[in-house]
Amino acid sequence: MIDRIRLSLLKISVLVALAFSTATASAQLSASLPYKDNAIDSLSANSSYIDEQAFTASKAAKLSSIFDDVNENSLQKKVSVSLNNSRDRRQLMDYLKQLEIGDNNAAGNEARNKTLFKFANLFARLKLYPLAMKCFFKTLQKDKKLKDNEEAAAVDSLEIDTSQNTDLPINTKDDSLAYVQSLQVRSDKSKRTTYENISGTFNDGKQAVAYALLFHVKQPSPGKKKVHVLAYTGHTYITLIKYNTDSTYVSCSFGFYPKKDHLFSATPWFPSTSSQFKNDAGHKWDEIIGKFISRKSFEKILKLTKEYNDVDYHLSYNNCTDFSLQAAGVAGISISNTDGKWFMGHGNNPGVTGQSILQGGYGTTDKQPVTTLFKSLNTSVTEK
């Protein structure tokens, strides 16, 4: 009997020792792991009692403290700096993805729309046009969800391939694409290009889900209806964007230029000269009008570009503004007042065209409401 009691006591002692050693080892292992402030318990995360929206809202609240800046100029600088750092870019994309989450109430929806539109303007000013139009598109989506009228139906008729991914989602691919594009637009010097280079940009072998056009105006004197300042006449150009089903995109900004045959070419004395296209990815601008367009319109604009590849430049009736206005017309954009006079000539020009946009003299020529047009003004104009 005594031996049995001793054997039982021995077993209990061994079990206690094993339990103690296991707890100690577990504590040491936990102490050696890095602490994660935002880590979520895996068991809790799988529980049906966890509110996923609460986690999302908490994450969005932390991100908003970084990018939710009232002052657009300081926010623009902050975003510009963020593009140069991979960690900051990911944080920016996370913030934008949070904005994609819709609200079921008008007040929350309106607040998100304002923020999305603010970022659309910021990205346009940073010359990241595909990302700008993505943000703008999401404001149209939010409006459509809350409206049940003719305008909502018109928004729903935007030329997007509804059989594919119609959300134009912001994701990790925008991270790298935005960085590459930010490097390409740092120089505002426009270099010569050709129709073949322009059209070749869009031959990426990928299926498109959406297309967009942006109409850019650089006035000779920002915010003023001046046709020229000394010899400077400003510039008008366009950007074409192709969004793919795999969430990638390609874009090209370009304008129609004179190719000087001699010193006085493209002047009032010799208004006609040879022509050329230039890559305007980094070109400055004062006003932008943007629009989503159909594949048919996109191809017509490329065809127009090919036609302009073989015609002469003329200061009065075949200049950069003439070409861009024709492209905008194909896209369904109209500008009401674009003509101005100068010494020994007159015609469409950036100074008058830009001022017309500033004063609201623009619209659509198709069934879509004017709210489907993206209008952006650069700081050179808004500060006046």
Name the strand (E) or helix (H) holding 272. strand 272-279
> What pLDDT does 19 receive?
44
Tell me the C-alpha to C-alpha distance, in Å, between residue 10 and each of 3, 21, 22, 235: 11, 17, 19, 94
C-alpha 182/C-alpha 240 separation (Å) is 17
Pick out the chain residues at pLDDT < 70.
1-66, 69-70, 102-107, 142-166, 383-384
Residue 207, by phi and psi: left (phi above 0), alpha (psi -120 to 50) or beta?
Answer: beta
> What pLDDT does 321 receive?
98
Closest CA relative to residue 357, chosen from 376, 341, 330: 376
Name the strand (E) or helix (H) holding 376. strand 374-377
> What pLDDT does 294 receive?
96
Q: What is the DSSP letter of 158?
A: S
> What pLDDT does 142 receive?
59
Burial of 174-208, coded b for 16+ CB within 10 Å and e otherwise, reads bbebbeebbeebeeeebeebebeebbebbeeeeeb
